[in-house]
Structure 1
Amino acid sequence: MADDSARPTPPPQPDPAKAVRHIDARSLRGLAHPLRMRMLELLKLDGPATSTRLAERLGENTGTVSWHLRQLAEHGFIEEVVGRGSKRERWWQAVNERRTLNSTEFRYDPDTRGALSVYMHEVVQQTFSRVADYLADDWEGPWEGVGTLSDRTDLRMTPAQLEALSAELLAVIDRHAPDPDAEPGEDALPVIIQLQSFPRKERGDS
């Protein structure tokens, strides 16, 4: 019998049961609103909340937040927390799913091009805000210096090479994702990974 004790233990894989949702035109129009996207982000990062709690955090009117929560629920992005809250105060949580969006499907569609623009702009704003929050917070002890902000501008690639690089980086993230059924360590914190890889048109002298 082979001895496997010397072999490295493979890192845990992401939850295979987690649904993957491809955003279509209808769901894109339902999500592409700055306030809705901020609300969904808070529910994903900080867990369930009521319209009152979200309104306080966002500086918005409770009635406005409640209306947008219903829109998110109608399009399947959030759901009511079963067994929590009351008829007057409902608790909402983000649906446990991974979302994908292929922007090329909507870029030349006049009916969805505006929604795509709003969606992508808000994604960029959220990306910036997360980095700004990280830099503004004080990190001490084992968390000091473990984050990474990397910027490489010395690469030249073909479309196929860039596509392969992006796919491999995403696969690495999946391999390091913790087991969703395991209890997190006492020193564990939520970790945000923002991956950006894109070409740039040359603007030098021709």
Structure 2
Amino acid sequence: MTDSSRPEGRVLDAGALRALAHPLRVRLYDLLSQYGAQTASGLAALTGESTGATSYHLRALAKHDLIREVEGRGTARERWWERPAGAVTLVNPDLATTPSGRAVMEAVHSETLTLRQQQLMTFVTHGWDDDEAWLDKSLISTASARLTVEQMAELADRLQSVITETVDRYRDQSGDDLRVVTMRADVFPLPLEGGPR
């Protein structure tokens, strides 16, 4: 973190990262993050999995405080689950010092980024069927520039600041004309010229 615009949040420990290192758990965690509280049966319908499987994986996530049961909502037969608000980082510097720790972080990152790419490709292939206003106001942009590490950090902080401000302002907004919008910012150096391809 190089600037206060980057959200401070929970750094996941080894147990939480291991709990998250499963494709269905990443998907469940993401759905709760994006769409809010859900039941195991609702998540089963969204993922095509059985209610038993989603219940099992929800409990595994809850055991590590990645999600929690919504107090005062639901019944003994149908519990509601939510992801607590706040930033979470999937990079734990202490775990990066061991091969097993790096492997766990890589597994979680791989599943998370695979899911993000699937969402992007779904938009690219099916977005044309959507309301034209939503399509016209969407943005998929790629650009390259030669930057120093300090300039790259400044750019990342500025992008994160805009994302954080937007999330803070509109997170709990309600209304009929709203949809969940995903926000991505990718800033990273490319290999050096002539380097490995």
TM, length-normalised to structure 2: 0.83
Q: Which residue of 1 aligns with 2:72?
A: 83
In structure 2, distance between residues paired with 1:20 and 1:152: 29
> How many percent of aligned residue pairs carry the same amino acid?
32
Q: Which residue of 2 aligns with 1:174?
A: 164
The 1:204–1:113 alpha-carbon spacing in structure 2 relative to 1, beyond 3 Å, is same
The 1:91–1:184 alpha-carbon spacing in structure 2 relative to 1, beyond 3 Å, is closer
Query: Are 1:79 and 1:93, in contact at CA under 8 Å, matched by a contact in 2?
Result: yes
Equivalent position amino acid for 1:95 in 2? P
Query: Which one of 110, 133, 146 corresponds to residue 142 of structure 1?
Result: 133
Query: Which one of 166, 181, 185 corresponds to residue 191 of structure 1?
Result: 181
Equivalent position amino acid for 1:112 in 2? G
Alignment of structure 1 residues 103-118 onto 2, 5 Å = 104-118=93-107
Task: List per-residue Cα deviations over 1:147-200 (Å, max 9, x = no partner).
Answer: 1111113x1112222112111111122333453587445433222111111112
Query: Are 1:19 and 1:96, in contact at CA under 8 Å, matched by a contact in 2?
Result: no
Task: List per-residue Cα deviations over 1:33-81 (Å, max 9, x = no partner).
Answer: 1111101111122222222222222222322221111111111111112
Q: Which residue of 2 aligns with 1:59?
A: 48
The 1:49–1:182 alpha-carbon spacing in structure 2 relative to 1, beyond 3 Å, is closer
Task: List per-residue Cα deviations over 1:64-109 (Å, max 9, x = no partner).
Answer: 2211111111111111122222212211111122112336543341
The 1:204–1:121 alpha-carbon spacing in structure 2 relative to 1, beyond 3 Å, is same
The 1:139–1:57 alpha-carbon spacing in structure 2 relative to 1, beyond 3 Å, is closer
In structure 1, distance between residues paired with 2:71 and 2:33: 17
Query: Are 1:73 and 1:79, in contact at CA under 8 Å, matched by a contact in 2?
Result: yes
For structure 1, which runs of at least 5 residues remain unmatched after alignment?
1-13
Of structures 1 and 2, the larger Rg is shown by 1
TM, length-normalised to structure 1: 0.79
Q: Which residue of 1 aligns with 2:60?
A: 71
Q: Greater helix share, 1 or 2? A: 2
| 1:162 alignment partner, SS class | helix
Is residue 150 of structure 2 the alignment partner of residue 160 of structure 1?
yes
Is residue 91 of structure 2 the alignment partner of residue 102 of structure 1?
yes
More off after superposition, 19-28 vs 72-81: 19-28
Provide the aligned C-alpha RMSD in A: 2.6
In structure 1, distance between residues paired with 2:108 and 2:132: 37
| 1:112 alignment partner, SS class | helix
More off after superposition, 180-189 vs 108-117: 180-189
Q: Which residue of 2 aligns with 1:7?
A: none
What is the number of equivalent residue pairs in this alignment?
A: 189
* Cα shift at 1:133: 2.4
In structure 1, distance between residues paired with 2:8 and 2:193: 42
Q: Which residue of 2 aligns with 1:3?
A: none
| 1:197 alignment partner, SS class | coil
